[in-house]
RNA sequence: GCGCCCAUAGCUCAGCGGAUUAGAGCGUUGGCCUCCGAAGCCAAAGGUCGCAGGUUCGAAUCCUGCUGGGCGCGCCA
């Protein structure tokens, strides 16, 4: 249970009671009434701004609302202290037995601790992520978007959203034709032709050699000297399929899965581009026109051109955007319109796009498209992931496609493991650049958040193992621990740990609402820190150790706390797709 | 030139739909293992939250302008 929500509901109920009693005017909007943890824990466990927010609309002094509201809040028997502070905040401190109850709830919920139905009313959510072009293997940069999207999707599922994970395959356009030509060259090479240097404009990567050999197996020599018009399509399609196979293998390696792969070529073939543009046309949002050149940075070859434009400016974009090339084919933007139209028509109410930061310039126009096509009924949130800088002991790892010193996603995962990659990718906000240092992420110290959190989990597991070994008479089954007398846990550090565990349901909900999975990683680090603190207390004071030989009931209570902590760590890690470990070796 | 993102402790970063004395890690200094895993813990020092205005009883948080950095800017996806 999210206890903040409990208190918030209570505050609103009491406000209504005050309205009934005539203490405050009727008809006030409680939407801005909020509940927060005070910055300073001495101010209590929760704080509400109710009196501050309502003072204006009610035309009253904050304290004149706060004082009677506080009186009413005092009447609840789980609350120890209610204070009006400063200009009119109300601080509440819960009774000590409030926290053990939250811990028991956690144990009862088990792996579902913190799960909620927050998203049930929001409609189906589509998370589109990775969508790397099928022209080569994935590199480290792709890993961030992959992990972010996958973790965000899990987070939304955990909070009750109906989520589809989707990959948009850019298998139309010039880039895949280049892939086809590059593959044909490797095919001739595999047949024994001398191909010399790879011409500029084609993909030089060695990874296409396998594709060349595959083509030989499939087509033998039939396209060796044939004109491009004969082989481009079959060769290209084969190469795309091969590349997508590799990409899916790489994603699999990181535990990332997609439910749906949508093909750009398929959209075009099925006439969905025409259909989507017709819809826009019917709304009067497509016209023939000439764009002004960009001010200050006019391209050398600029010439005014009549083109087919979408009225993006009507929906907040800076300029209208072209949808058709001069040769009559669609721009990438046109197929993207079709793709988003398709998503809308499949019934999604929330669209989330995970893109690299270099696509930031497309955000506004896509928002415009989604607003136009859905009559502003569908929300689009585009999350931009900043670059990942690969480092080793503080030095940047040099990468160049040409020189072949190109670090693939597979290289990194094989070197440090999927759990490390996943966690580290989430230790920064998506819109902040991230340094990924091989040395640091494999280091076994506090500086490395993966190990810090895993270490806490391993220590929890270790205590539980020791308990089974050293106190065989003690029943530490989940059922028994649930019934432990947690009122024996009175030390401030024990309380702090309980409170942190109890904060999990709110933490997940907030992370989900903000579409920010990194918050889970920070919460995990916080929980781990509370646990390590408590652990060390036991080093200083024997009475604070988890296992107390002469006091089985106290031991049981402490083990229940340890179990709950392990539970919080493992549930949080699993939301991020990281496997909790019971031992570090 | 325009748009988007960013600017918080020496370094790397949380916090940012306002609210009571701004947080963490690293680094620095000093402590804690006969004892549940020291891969850890505790303490000290360190900040006019880029600058200047504005809204507000109250701004790191919202608005405007500026400075500095990243990304992008008509037929590349």
SS3 A385: strand
- Nearest nt (C1') to A306 (CA)? B74
Residue after which a domain boundary falls, among A231, A253, A275: A253
Q: Is A146 within 8 Å of A252 (Cβ atoms)?
A: no
Q: Is A531 within 8 Å of A524 (Cβ atoms)?
A: no
Q: Is A130 domain-assigned? A: yes
CA closest to B72 C1', residue = A361
Q: Which among A197, A244, A191, A195 is positioned nearest to A214, based on CA atoms?
A: A191
Burial class (CB in 10 A: 0-12, 13-18, 19+), A528: buried
| Same structural domain, A76 and A180 | no
Q: Which among A196, A205, A216 is positioned nearest to A178, based on CA atoms?
A: A205
Domain encompassing residue A52: 3-95
Q: Is A30 within 8 Å of A17 (Cβ atoms)?
A: no
| Same structural domain, A158 and A207 | no
Q: Is A428 within 8 Å of A144 (Cβ atoms)?
A: no
CA closest to B40 C1', residue = A532
Q: Is A297 domain-assigned? A: no
Count CB neighbours of A67 within 10 A: 15
Q: Is the pLDDT of residue A322 over 90?
A: yes
Distances (CA, A) of A43 to A48, A91, A288: 11, 6, 63
| Same structural domain, A376 and A396 | no
A218 CA to B24 C1' in angstroms comes to: 58
Q: How far apart are CA A569 and CA A56, in angstroms?
A: 43
Strand B reaches within 7 A of the A583 CB: yes
A537 CA to B32 C1' in angstroms comes to: 10
Q: Is A286 within 8 Å of A310 (Cβ atoms)?
A: yes
Q: How far apart are CA A190 and CA A209, in angstroms?
A: 8
Q: How far apart are CA A103 and CA A483, in angstroms?
A: 11
- The CATH number given to whatever domain includes residue A36 is 3.30.1360.70
Which residues 432-451 on A are within 7 A of strand B at the CB atom?
A: 432-435, 444-447, 451
Q: Is A524 domain-assigned? A: yes
Count CB neighbours of A539 within 10 A: 9
Q: How far apart are CA A147 and CA A422, in angstroms?
A: 6
Q: Is A100 within 8 Å of A484 (Cβ atoms)?
A: no
A516: tokens are 């920010």
Q: Is A430 within 8 Å of A518 (Cβ atoms)?
A: yes
Phi, psi angle pair for A466, to nearest 5°: -65, -35
Residue after which a domain boundary falls, among A80, A95, A110: A95
Q: Among A13-17, A330-334, A338-342, A492-496, name the most confident range.
A: A338-342
In A59-207, alpha helices (H): 62-74, 98-109, 140-158, 174-190
A89: tokens are 């905040």
Q: Which among A451, A454, A429 is positioned nearest to A439, based on CA atoms?
A: A451
**pLDDT for residue A401:** 58
A331 CA to B73 C1' in angstroms comes to: 16
Phi, psi angle pair for A531, to nearest 5°: -70, -45
Residues A446-457: tens digit of each pLDDT: 778 888 999 999
A180 CA to B2 C1' in angstroms comes to: 38
A288: tokens are 């023939």
Q: Is the pLDDT of residue A302 over 90?
A: no
The length of chain A is 585
Q: Is A225 domain-assigned? A: yes
Strand B reaches within 7 A of the A328 CB: no
B/e letters for A68-78, b = 16+ CB within 10 Å, e = fewer, are bbbebbeeeee
Q: How far apart are CA A338 and CA A271, in angstroms?
A: 9
Angle at alpha carbon of residue A176, lines to A365 and A210, rounded to 5°: 140
A383 CA to B50 C1' in angstroms comes to: 26
Higher pLDDT, A28 or A352: A352
Which residues 337-356 on A are within 7 A of strand B at the CB atom?
A: none
HEC readout, A195-216: CCCCCCCCCCCCCHHHHHHHHH
Q: Is A205 domain-assigned? A: yes
A436 CA to B1 C1' in angstroms comes to: 36
Hey, CA dihedral for A471, A477, A483, A485, is it positive or negative?
Answer: positive
B/e letters for A423-444, b = 16+ CB within 10 Å, e = fewer, are bbbbbbbbeeebebbbebbeee
Q: Is the pLDDT of residue A400 over 70?
A: no
A536 CA to B36 C1' in angstroms comes to: 10
> Residue A301's pLDDT band (boundaries 50, 70, 90)?
confident
Q: Is the pLDDT of residue A563 over 90?
A: yes
**pLDDT for residue A294:** 79
| Same structural domain, A471 and A453 | yes
| Same structural domain, A226 and A337 | no
| Same structural domain, A148 and A276 | yes
Residue after which a domain boundary falls, among A442, A462, A482: A442
Q: How far apart are CA A205 and CA A408, in angstroms?
A: 12
Mean pLDDT of A153-171: 96
Q: Is A490 domain-assigned? A: yes
Strand B reaches within 7 A of the A516 CB: yes
A480 CA to B51 C1' in angstroms comes to: 61
Mean pLDDT of A344-363: 93
| Same structural domain, A378 and A343 | yes
Q: Is the pLDDT of residue A402 over 70?
A: no
Q: Is A322 domain-assigned? A: no
CA closest to B77 C1', residue = A332
Q: Which nucleotides of B are covered by protein (CB under 7 A)?
A: 1-6, 12-26, 32-33, 35-42, 57-58, 70-77
| Same structural domain, A558 and A507 | yes
| Same structural domain, A398 and A463 | no
- The CATH number given to whatever domain includes residue A537 is 1.10.730.10
Q: Is A319 domain-assigned? A: no
Total domains in the fold of chain A: 5
Of A140-154, A427-441, A566-580, the one with minimum mean pLDDT is A427-441
| H or E, element range at A532 | helix A518-540
The alpha-carbon radius of gyration of chain A (Å, integer) is: 29
A464: tokens are 């539980």
Residues A511-558: tens digit of each pLDDT: 998 899 999 999 999 999 999 999 999 888 888 999 998 899 999 999
| Same structural domain, A245 and A269 | no
Mean pLDDT of A322-345: 92
ipTM for this prediction:
0.92
A170: tokens are 């850019």
Which residues 62-81 on A are within 7 A of strand B at the CB atom?
A: 62
Mean pLDDT of A478-484: 93
| Same structural domain, A550 and A471 | yes
Residues A406-457: tens digit of each pLDDT: 788 998 999 889 999 999 999 988 988 888 888 888 877 777 888 899 999 9
Mean pLDDT of A181-201: 93
Mean pLDDT of A288-299: 79
Which residues 360-399 on A are within 7 A of strand B at the CB atom?
A: 360-364, 384, 386-387
Strand B reaches within 7 A of the A534 CB: yes
| Same structural domain, A463 and A478 | yes
Give the DSSP per-residue string, A298-361.
--TT----EEEEE-GGGGT-SS-EE-B-TTSPBPHHHHHHHHHHHHHHTT-SEEEEEEEGGGGG
CB-based contacts of A203, cutoff 8 Å, min separation 6: A135, A136, A178, A179, A182
> Residue A306's pLDDT band (boundaries 50, 70, 90)?
confident
């Amino acid at each position: 249970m999210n206890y903040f929500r409990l208190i918030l509901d209570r505050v609103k109920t009491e406000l209504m009671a005050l309205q009934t009693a005539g203490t405050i005017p009727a008809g006030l909007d409680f939407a801005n009434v909020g509940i927060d943890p005070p910055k300073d824990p001495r101010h209590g466990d929760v704080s509400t701004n109710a009196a501050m927010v309502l003072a204006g609309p009610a035309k009253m002094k904050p304290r004149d609302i706060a004082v009677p509201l506080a009186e009413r809040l005092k009447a609840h028997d789980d609350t120890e202290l209610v204070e009006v502070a400063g200009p009119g905040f109300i601080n509440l401190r819960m009774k000590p037995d409030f926290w053990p109850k939250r811990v028991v709830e956690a144990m009862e919920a088990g792996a579902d601790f913190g799960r909620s139905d927050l998203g049930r009313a929001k409609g189906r959510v589509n998370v589109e992520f990775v969508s790397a072009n099928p022209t080569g293997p994935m590199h480290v940069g792709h890993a961030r978007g992959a992990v972010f999207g996958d973790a965000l999707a899990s987070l939304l599922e955990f909070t009750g959203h109906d989520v589809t994970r989707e990959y948009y395959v850019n298998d139309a356009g010039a880039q895949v034709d280049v892939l086809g030509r590059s593959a044909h060259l490797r095919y001739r090479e595999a047949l024994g032709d001398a191909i010399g240097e790879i011409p500029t404009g084609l993909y030089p990567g060695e990874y296409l050699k396998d594709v060349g050999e595959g083509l030989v197996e499939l087509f033998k020599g039939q396209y060796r000297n044939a004109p491009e018009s004969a082989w481009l399509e079959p060769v290209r399609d084969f190469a795309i399929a091969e590349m997508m196979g590799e990409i899916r293998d790489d994603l699999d390696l990181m535990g990332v899965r997609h439910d749906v792969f949508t093909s750009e070529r398929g959209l075009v073939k099925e006439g969905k581009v025409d259909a989507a543009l017709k819809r826009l046309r019917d709304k009067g949002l497509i016209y023939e026109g000439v764009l002004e050149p960009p001010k200050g940075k006019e391209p050398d070859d600029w010439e005014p051109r009549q083109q087919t434009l979408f009225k993006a400016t009507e929906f907040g974009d800076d300029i209208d955007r072209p949808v058709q090339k001069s040769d009559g084919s669609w721009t990438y933007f046109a197929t993207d319109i079709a793709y988003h139209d398709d998503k809308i028509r499949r019934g999604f109410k929330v669209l989330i796009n995970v893109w690299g930061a270099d696509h930031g310039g497309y955000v506004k126009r896509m928002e415009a498209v989604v607003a136009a096509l859905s009559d502003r009924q569908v929300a689009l949130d585009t999350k931009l992931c900043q670059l990942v800088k690969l480092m080793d002991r503080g030095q940047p790892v040099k990468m160049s496609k040409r020189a072949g010193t190109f670090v693939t996603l597979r290289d990194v995962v094989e070197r440090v493991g999927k759990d490390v990659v996943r966690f580290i990718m989430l230790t920064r906000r998506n819109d902040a650049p991230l340094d990924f240092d091989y040395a640091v992420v494999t280091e076994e110290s506090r500086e490395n958040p993966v190990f810090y959190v895993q270490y806490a989990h391993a220590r929890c597991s270790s205590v539980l193992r020791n308990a089974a070994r050293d106190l065989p008479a003690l029943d530490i089954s989940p059922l028994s621990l649930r019934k432990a007398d947690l009122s024996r846990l009175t030390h401030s550090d024990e309380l702090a740990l309980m409170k942190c565990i109890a904060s999990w349901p709110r933490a997940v909900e907030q992370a989900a609402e903000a579409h920010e999975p990194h918050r889970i990683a920070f919460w995990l680090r916080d929980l781990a820190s509370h646990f390590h603190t408590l652990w060390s207390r036991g080093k200083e004071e024997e009475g604070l150790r988890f296992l107390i030989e002469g006091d089985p009931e106290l031991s049981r209570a402490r083990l229940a706390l340890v179990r709950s902590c392990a539970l919080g760590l493992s549930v949080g890690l699993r939301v991020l797709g990281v496997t909790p470990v019971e031992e570090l070796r």
